[in-house]
Structure 1
Amino acid sequence: MKQLKRLDAIPRDPYQRALKSRLRHIALSEDAFNELRRTQQDHVVIEDAGLLIAQPYQGAIGLQYAFPNSDQFARHFPTMFSRLLPALTIEEAPMGIRLRHTDAASRPYVEPVLRAHAFEMMRDWIRMELAELPPSGGPEDHIAAGGEAGAFTLREARTDDAEAIVEVESVAFSMSWLTPDVVRRSVEEGPVFRVLEDVSSGRAVGFLRLRTDLPSEGYVSDIALHPEYQRRGLGEAMMRWALARFREDGLRCAALTVTSDNGPGIALYRKLGFTAAETGIDYHRPIDEDEVRQVLEKNRASRITVRTRY
């Protein structure tokens, strides 16, 4: 007798249904999802075919999604995104919209849809995790590194540090998304935001931004160091400060994402005990209509170039 395969019932609750979707990136907890539905209903689009969530966070919109498969994504993302878009403003998200994709197999089907809606590739990344925080005392704000590094202090960021922080990021990374207004807002909102200051000159030469609001995990949102001050042990000192801060806040583990081509950064995190856990791609879309048109023109031009080449 042929045995029938049991089919699990599809949950009626949209959040639980999303967690069972094959193509998804859902970072919100169920409580946070329900709170967003209650307070910003226009930031959530729910259909039988899928789910879109626009989560405001530190000057950007994190676009989270869930679809049964890439075919359903291609069919329904355009109309669902069109419903969501009017609620998203530059004032709320001056850094635009970010979407994280982790299913490599579906990229050939998903990326053309995103490009048609003015998304462009931002970076490919590796998520690295530290399963257990090391034992330590409290985080020490004063950092004395060896050699010619001198003395530095890792102090709380102020709104008047905004220009210096943007400058550090712009010279430390090939692609920079921070603006002074975004930095000032981030400082005022109150996440752990620290500036590495050269004591001798008073110059801001690096910064560190942490999330400590997750249930058990500390997350390193940003760490940057001016190239003139790299290879002096300062990056490692900042990371050790972050891990000590996580432990002080009662957290048990830590995580971060690093661009795939950042060899020195990956080596440092491995030295501290981090291991690779996941890979993916971040996409970015502006909200300003002029910028949207520029991205669409660039995307169309690159598609023509590819077709001509082959």
Structure 2
Amino acid sequence: MILSSLELKTLTSSDLTAILELDLACFGGLWTMEGYQRELDSPNSDLLGLFSPQSSINLLGMGCFWSILEEAHITIVAVHPQYHRQGLGQALLYFLLKTACDRGLERATLEVRASNLAAISLYQKFGFQTAGRRRGYYQDNGEDAIILWLPDLQYPQFHKKLHYWESIIRDDLINSHWSLVNSP
């Protein structure tokens, strides 16, 4: 089996064009260049990307969270539609949670469209629980957002889960013909 290399790296201003292309493919142009530049410039924001030199698409996936007090507020988990169901979303979520853990953050939260059952399933797989609902949260269609919450990032049990998830994710990526070559 021939594996394509997959590289995770912290995104920078030099990646802005690729970020905007991925945003357009996944969200139809949700954020502007200025919005992403603010994320890249903020010391409270972590923006991670997945790249593969074997792909014609520059940026395959990205994830972002804001550090707010002791919380990681996940704002983006996006995988290019051509690369769905290959383990890239769970790899991004894992690395976001690991980065939050390494930063000393104590919990993670996010909002997800109530209709996005695939994303909700992914988040629940990682232990996120429903904490509430924001009615009419999404401006494009008035859809509700489900608020998901993951506590205890600094507890020893969570660190054991992270180690377990890493091995599962690497195996899943290999099964989808990916080899993760490095991580930040």
Determine if the alignment matches structure 1 residue 153 to structure 2 residue 7: yes
SS in 2 for 1:243: helix
2:33 paired residue number? 180
Q: Distance in 1 between matches of 2:2 and 2:122?
A: 20
How far did 1:188 drift? 2.0
CA distance in 2, matches of 1:148, 1:276: 40
Report if aligned partners of 2:49, 2:59 keep a CA contact under 8 Å in 1.
yes
Distance 2:39 2:61 in 1: 16
Q: Could you list the structure 1 runs, at least 4 aligned residues long, displaced by more than 6 angstroms after superposition.
A: none
* Per-residue deviation, residues 122-178 of structure 1 (Å, max 9, x unmatched): xxxxxxxxxxxxxxxxxxxxxxxxx887321121112122121122122223x5321
Q: Deviations over 1:203-225 (max 9, x none)?
A: 2111111112x232212111111
The letter of the residue matching 1:282 is: Y
- Partner of residue 219, structure 1: 73
In the alignment of these two chains, the number of paired residues is 137
Q: In structure 2, do the counterparts of structure 1 residues 164 and 152 end up closer, same or farther at CA, with 3 Å as the change threshold? A: same
Amino acid at match of 1:216: E
Alpha-carbon spacing, 1:160–1:269, altered in 2? closer, same or farther (3 Å): same
**Residue 61 of structure 2 contacts residue 92 of structure 2 at CA under 8 Å; is this kept in 1?**
no
CA offsets 1:262-306 (integer angstroms, 9 cap, x no match)? 111011111111111111122659xxxxxxxxxxxxxxxxxxxxx
Structure 1 CA distance for aligned equivalents of residues 115 and 49 of structure 2: 25
Q: How far apart, in 1, do the equivalents of 2:138 and 2:84 lie? A: 28
> Of 35, 40, 62, which residue of structure 2 is paired with 1:207?
62
- Secondary structure of 2:25's partner? helix
In the alignment, what sits opposite 2:109? Answer: 255
The answer as to whether partners of 1:149 and 1:232 remain within 8 angstroms in 2 is no
Q: 1:189 aligns with which of 39, 42, 50?
A: 42
> Partner of 1:232: helix, strand, or coil?
coil
CA distance in 2 between counterparts of 1:229 and 1:183 reads 22
Contact 2:8 2:51 in 1 (8 A): yes
Find the aligned partners of 1:243 and 1:272 in 2 and give their Cα distance.
10
Superposed CA RMSD:
2.3
Distance 1:176 1:259, change over 3 A: farther
Task: Say if 2:110 is the partner of 1:274.
Answer: no
Amino acid in structure 2 at the alignment position of 1:180: M
Identity %: 26
Q: Point out the structure with max Rg over C-alpha.
A: 1
